């Protein structure tokens, strides 16, 4: 792992890191790549917690699985046993450090609210590549159901607004090979009222700090919608294929995908390019307040698909 300035100057480095997740704005959790188990092999794996401010690392055995953090000390860890021709069997726990974890529950965690008091889960109902299913939102720490989509659409991601008043998810309608109709569904978590926004083949979307939806179009534009579904603005940009945003919506990051040599951070019209070290298939994650971004790259100089974790100070 490398800690770098925006200009690429190395501040510190740690080798053999994989699957990082921010615990809060200072600490991050990562597993050891060389001892990372295959799915279903083990419920625990060698890991470490690092601090950006102190530079200290603490090694320990952590529960193993797909990790999502609420940024306030709780990490939801999802575990799945799946094959392409079977419905995935999923469960999750919420880990708060050391041996402190909840009992296993049904569902697969995908997103926390910015206050860390709600968790979005998927419940598979049909075989898919990856984890897809219908949406449930539960409270934390009680893990009580706040919302569940009784129509059971198969979705793969959902995102809370910065105020946590809404949750939105992406879906499409149509049969292969198309054409398809694409939609963003916006749910009012107090009333459970759902609004459907028809969109034009967007690859992904995020919320901004104003509680608006920023949708990235596959045809080279960034479109902004209100939570009520009104189109506010549409601006042409280079054909980015990935968009990320910090939990508070203050920082937005754009990338050209697996072959990207740089990432762009900021708002349309004032984007700043940050060059990436040599590597392929970058995986990006912003810290909750948007002041750091982690980038995992496969190192082309290695023959065993070894990966490197870079942390940038924005």
- Where does 64-212 show beta strands of DSSP type E? 66-69, 75-81, 89-97, 100-101, 105-106, 108-112, 118-123, 134-139, 145-148, 158-160, 166-173, 181-188, 194-199, 202-207
Predicted model pTM: 0.77
Structure tokens at 7: 């200009």
Cα(314)–Cα(310) distance, integer angstroms? 12
Asked if residues 302 and 290 have their Cβ atoms less than 8 Å apart, the reply is no
Provide the residue ranges of all domains of the chain, joining segments of one domain with +.
65-156
- CA 105 vs CA 34, 123, 134, 138, 158: distances in Å: 29, 11, 16, 11, 19
How far is Cα 185 from Cα 170, in angstroms, rounded to an integer?
6
Other C-beta atoms lying within 10 Å of the C-beta of residue 140:
19
pLDDT in tens, the chain (314 residues): 555 555 555 555 667 888 888 888 788 888 998 888 876 556 789 999 888 788 788 998 888 888 999 989 999 999 887 666 678 889 999 999 877 889 999 999 999 998 999 999 999 988 888 889 999 999 999 999 999 987 878 899 999 998 899 999 988 887 777 788 889 999 999 999 999 998 877 678 999 989 999 888 877 888 899 999 999 988 888 777 788 888 788 888 888 877 777 888 877 667 788 888 776 666 777 877 788 887 777 765 655 556 677 777 77
How far from each other are the two terminal CA atoms of the chain, in whole angstroms?
Answer: 17
The pLDDT tens digits of the residues spanning 111-155 come to 999 899 999 999 998 888 888 999 999 999 999 999 998 787 889
Quote the CA–CA distance of 309 and 314 in Å, as a whole number.
16
Residue carrying the six token digits 């009012």: 188
Q: Alpha-carbon distance 99 to 62, whole Å?
A: 8
Both tokens of 110, joined, read 């995908």
Taking CB atoms within 8 Å and a gap of at least 24, the contacts of 276-281 are 276/310, 277/2, 277/8, 277/308, 277/310, 279/308
């Amino acid at each position: 792992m490398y800690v770098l300035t925006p200009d690429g100057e190395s501040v510190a480095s740690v080798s053999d890191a994989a699957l990082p997740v921010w615990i809060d704005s200072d600490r991050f959790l990562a597993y050891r790549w060389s001892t990372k188990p295959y799915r279903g092999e083990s419920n625990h794996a060698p890991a470490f917690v690092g601090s950006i401010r102190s530079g200290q690392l603490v090694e320990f055995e952590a529960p193993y699985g797909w990790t999502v953090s609420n940024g306030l000390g709780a990490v939801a860890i999802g575990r799945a046993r799946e094959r392409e021709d079977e419905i995935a069997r999923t469960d999750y726990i919420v880990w708060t450090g050391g041996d402190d974890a909840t009992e296993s529950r049904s569902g697969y965690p995908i997103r926390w609210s910015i206050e860390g008091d709600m968790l979005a889960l998927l419940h598979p109902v049909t075989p898919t590549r990856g984890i897809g299913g219908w949406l449930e939102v539960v409270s934390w720490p009680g893990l009580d159901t706040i919302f569940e989509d009784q129509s059971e659409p198969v979705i793969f991601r959902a995102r809370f607004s910065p105020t946590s008043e809404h949750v939105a998810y992406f879906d499409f309608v149509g049969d292969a090979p198309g054409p398809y109709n694409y939609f963003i569904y916006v749910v009012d978590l107090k009333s459970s009222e759902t609004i459907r926004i028809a969109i034009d083949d967007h690859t992904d979307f995020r919320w901004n700090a104003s509680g608006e939806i920023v949708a990235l179009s596959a045809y080279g534009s960034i479109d902004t919608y209100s939570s009520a579904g009104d189109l506010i603005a549409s601006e042409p940009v280079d054909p980015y294929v990935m968009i990320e945003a910090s939990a508070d919506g203050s920082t937005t990051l754009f990338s050209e995908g697996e072959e990207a040599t740089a990432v762009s951070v900021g708002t349309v019209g004032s984007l700043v390019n940050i060059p990436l070290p040599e590597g392929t298939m970058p995986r990006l994650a912003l810290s909750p307040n948007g002041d750091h971004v982690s980038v995992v790259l496969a190192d082309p100089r290695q023959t065993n698909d070894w990966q490197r974790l870079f942390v940038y100070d924005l």
